[in-house]
Structure 1
Amino acid sequence: MRESPMPAFDRLLPILLLIGSNVFMTFAWYGHLRYKATPLVTVILVSWGIAFFEYCLMVPANRLGSAFYSAPQLKGMQEVITLLVFAGFSAWYLGQPLKWNHWAGFALIAVAAWLIFLE
């Protein structure tokens, strides 16, 4: 009898939720940089509203992911996902592509996240 593909999806779902949550949070934290004339109070309130949707994805990601991953592993994944989402956002939305030293620094963080998964 073939094993159901759901266990693989169950492990992947938290990662997909982390990606979605990081897209929202990146816009909440950095999206306002294109609108420097907007009053700071407005930016804070809009960012807070965007962050609500980030939490709606992040909390389930961590809750569901804890069935398969430790808390440090979830945090390590989240950091790498954050860097990848930010790299794309910085180049695409802000028009500030990353330089070699940024990529090198991010690579070191990715290595640190990988170490978290070693037994």
Structure 2
Amino acid sequence: MDQVAGAIADPVRREILMMLRDEQLSAGQIAERFVISRPAVSRHLRVLRDSGLVRDELVGRRRFYVLRTEPLTDLTDWIAGLTRPAGWEHRLDALETEVYRARRDHRDRAPAAPSPRRREDTA
């Protein structure tokens, strides 16, 4: 998780990941979209590859980079744990149970509605 967090800490690497979200690209295609040097882009790609966030595929003589989202799972789970209070789901489940129980009890205690009288009963 630390290696993934370190990899996405850099804005250039985050931009590369966003590019790869939609399509696989070669290092040259990625470098064209930045004002930094090709060796700098290669270093960023190496960090992303070492963290497992991208993999490279050799197609003929060209190397394409592909996004891998699996390494983000631990990090997203950890972040999700920070953004919601611990046990919140349990408390909501308990509240839901109490609401259903209160509705059932209220329904069971309510007096039955009188049945409508027929016309012949009133004569």
TM range (shorter): under 0.3
Q: Which has the higher contact order (CA 8 A, sep 6+)?
A: 1
Structure whose residues are more often helix by fraction: 1
TM-score, with structure 1 as normaliser: 0.26
Relative to total residues, which structure has the larger strand share, 1 or 2? 2
Structure-2-length-normalised TM-score: 0.25
